[in-house]
Amino acid sequence: MNKKTHFGYKEVEEADKSKFVGDVFTSVSKNYDLMNDAMSFGMHRLWKKILVELAAIGKKDIVLDIASGTGDISKLISKEYPETSIYMSDINFDMLDEGRNRAINESFDSNCSFCQLSGEELPFADNTFDVITVGFGLRNFTNKENGLKEMNRCLKKNGKLLVLEFSKPTNSIFSKVYDWYSFNILPKLGSFLANDSASYKYLAESIRMHPDQASLKQMIFDSGFKECKFYNLLNGIVAIHIGTND
């Protein structure tokens, strides 16, 4: 029997979700940075800086950036820690290509490698990385549990996973305003700036289907991590989860 999962609010076959998600990100790849700025009023850049600070990266750490997209997180790490080795990765070729081109054009490619891969089936040996980051990508996984287990497997002893993701606002009034903005404004922005309202409607829906802060924390524990804590940003619209596997 074929297993079902969610693609936004739709129920689809598990085997089909990665194709649907791929179509979305192929569609938005050329305007991804512009839309991120528009959707978050530029705050996504601050959130990523906070993630890198919390990562407490060592001078010569090996870092895997999953769902790296256009490379915001990799760029921050590369510029601040030039002796690290960074693997920029994305399941979607068009997004990875945008990230690679940006790395070359903005001169942060010297310590970066580029890998098209699925975060649910990492092609790396056990205990490879000191740090793994996932910025706004986990909610698009077909099987988040598989992905988290793979990340745990590929981290060294005392390695650290950092997940930056949209989450659940902690204030009910704020949550209602956020819902109105997400379903009334975001698709219009997508239509106006990228001629693509459907993809941004999916992105809003995918945020609502993502586990809340406590649920994701438990999933990280269930995947084999020994410790996990999270930090709410902007009233919980965004959260950073940090898992360690000492």
pLDDT one-digit tens code per residue, 111-131: 999 999 999 999 999 999 999
Residue 232: strand, helix, or coil: strand
Q: How many CB atoms lie within 10 A of CB 224?
A: 14
Per the domain annotation, does 10 fall within a domain? no
Per the domain annotation, does 216 fall within a domain? yes
Provide the CATH number for the domain around residue 182. 3.40.50.150
Range of the domain at 206: 21-244
Q: Which of 24, 22, 46 is nearest to 187 (CA)?
A: 24
The pLDDT of 15-39, averaged and rounded, is: 78
Cβ-contact 154, 128 below 8 angstroms: yes
pLDDT band per the 50, 70, 90 thresholds, residue 32: confident
Q: How many separate domains does the chain show?
A: 1
Q: How many CB atoms lie within 10 A of CB 192?
A: 11
DSSP per position, 133-163 = EEES-GGG-S-HHHHHHHHHHHEEEEEEEEE
Q: Which of 210, 15, 33 is nearest to 105 (CA)?
A: 33
Per the domain annotation, does 56 fall within a domain? yes
pLDDT band per the 50, 70, 90 thresholds, residue 185: confident
Per the domain annotation, does 187 fall within a domain? yes
pTM for the full model? Answer: 0.92
- Token pair 């002893």: residue: 157
Strand-pair category, 155-166 with 238-244: antiparallel
Q: Is the dihedral of CA 53, 164, 94, 198 positive or negative?
A: negative
Per the domain annotation, does 68 fall within a domain? yes
